[in-house]
Amino acid sequence: MQKQSTAGRLLAYALVYKYRIIGALLVLCCAVGAELGGPFIIKTIIDKHLDAGAGELAPVLRLLALYIGLLVLAGIGNFTQSYLLQSTALQIIKNMRMDLMRHIQRIPLRYFDNTPIGQIVSRIANDTEAVRDLFMSFMATFVVSFVQLIGIFTALFLLDVRLALLCLLLPPLFALIMYVHLKYSKGYIAVMRARLSDMNAMINESISVMPIIQAFRREKVTIDEFETLNVDRYVHQIKQFRVFSLSSRNIVGTIGSLVTALVIWYFGRASLQDAILFGVFYAFIDYLGRIFHPIIGIFDQLTNAQRAFVSAEKVFAILDMEGREVEDAAGVPRPEGVVTFDNVTFSYKEGDPVLKGISFEARRGETVALVGHTGSGKSSIMNLLLGFYEADEGLITIDGRDVTSLSKQALRKHMGIVLQDPYLFAGDIKSNVSLYNKEITLDKVKQALKEVGAAPFVEQLPGGYDEPVIERGSTLSSGQRQLISFARALAFNPAILILDEATASVDSETEGLIQQALRVVSEGRTTLVIAHRLSTIREADQILVLHRGEIVERGTHESLMALGGRYFKMYQLQKGA
Cβ-count burial 531-548 (b if 16+ within 10 Å, e if not): bbebebbeebebbbbbee
Where exactly are the structural domains of the chain? 6-319, 339-575
State residue 2's pLDDT score: 46
Q: Are strands 401-402 and 415-418 parallel, antiparallel or unpaired?
A: unpaired
pLDDT in tens, the chain (577 residues): 345 677 777 777 777 777 777 777 677 667 766 666 666 566 666 655 555 555 556 666 666 677 777 777 777 777 777 777 778 888 888 888 888 888 888 887 777 777 777 778 878 887 888 787 777 666 667 777 777 777 777 777 777 777 777 777 888 888 888 788 777 787 888 888 788 888 888 887 787 778 778 877 888 888 888 999 999 999 988 888 887 777 666 777 777 777 777 766 766 655 544 444 555 666 677 777 777 777 777 777 777 777 788 788 888 888 888 877 766 666 678 888 899 999 999 998 888 899 999 999 999 889 999 998 888 888 899 889 988 888 999 999 999 899 888 888 888 888 888 877 777 888 888 888 888 888 888 899 898 888 888 888 888 888 888 888 877 677 788 778 888 888 888 888 888 988 887 666 566 666 676 677 667 667 778 999 988 778 778 888 999 999 989 999 999 999 999 998 999 998 888 776 5
Q: Please state, as a whole number, how many other Cβ atoms lie within 10 Å of the Cβ of residue 52.
A: 13
Are the C-beta atoms of residues 532 and 374 closer than 8 Å to each other?
no
Residue 58 vs residues 40, 51, 66, 204, 257: alpha-carbon distances, Å: 18, 14, 12, 71, 37
Phi, psi of 529 (to 5 degrees): -125, 130
* Distance separating alpha carbons of residues 341 and 397, to the nearest angstrom: 7
d(CA 440, CA 455): 17
Amino acid 1: pLDDT: 39
CATH code for residues 6-319: 1.20.1560.10
The answer to whether the beta carbons of residues 359 and 551 sit under 8 Å apart is yes
**pLDDT at residue number 38:** 60
Looking at domain 339-575, its CATH architecture is 3-Layer(aba) Sandwich (3.40)
Domain 339-575 in the same topology as domain 6-319: no
What's the pLDDT score for residue 551? 93
